[in-house]
Amino acid sequence: MAAVVLELTVRDLTDNDLPACSFAGSELHLMQVAEQLNRARHGELDYLAVCTKADLPVAIGAVDYVPHPGAGLLTQFGVHPALQSCGIGTVLVAAAEQRISARGLDRAELAVELSNPRARALYERLGYVAYGEVLESWDQQDSTGAITRYETPCTQMRKSLSW
């Protein structure tokens, strides 16, 4: 068995990266990411990209500073399906936590779908603790292009970043 080592960097996601981010979701989702990049330009959030040596994003995710005063909310996290369970999500979460701390905040929060136990297990391994449940919803696009409202129960989790 041969092992492949990926050289990864984390940087801000840009509009030019969006065509390479189809792994993260539908055309509608990428339009929503583009809207979030506008908010990033105004300092409301950080949108991160984990990139290969070729500078192509293989994971993306945002830290939103608006919804939870005093905390950064991890949102819209996604790792290329072919590279899941390779530690890239851990790299992305660590970078997001560093951005939160750099703003002088000491708490990270997130909501993970109840139907996504792998993601919840990752967050628990990284020190996140469940504290409640919330019904989340967003628009999504199906394979025919139809847009529907998706609702799902989520576990709210948080982690203290006080080192």
Tens digits of per-residue pLDDT, 23-32? 998 889 999 9
The overall average pLDDT reported for the chain is: 94
For 46, residues 6+ apart whose C-beta sits below 8 A from its C-beta are 12, 40, 62, 63, 72, 96, 99
Q: Which domains does the chain have, with CATH numbers?
A: 9-160 (3.40.630.30)
pLDDT at 6: 82
Tens digits of per-residue pLDDT, 70-112? 999 999 999 999 999 899 999 999 999 999 999 999 999 999 9
DSSP-assigned states of every residue in 2-45? -------EEEE--GGGGGGGGGG--HHHHHHHHHHHHHHHTTSE
| pTM: predicted TM-score of the whole model, two decimal places | 0.93
Q: Of 53-62, 80-89, 140-149, which range is least confident?
A: 140-149
- The mean pLDDT value for 134-163 works out to 91
SS (H, E, C) 88-103: HHHHHHHHHHHHHHHC
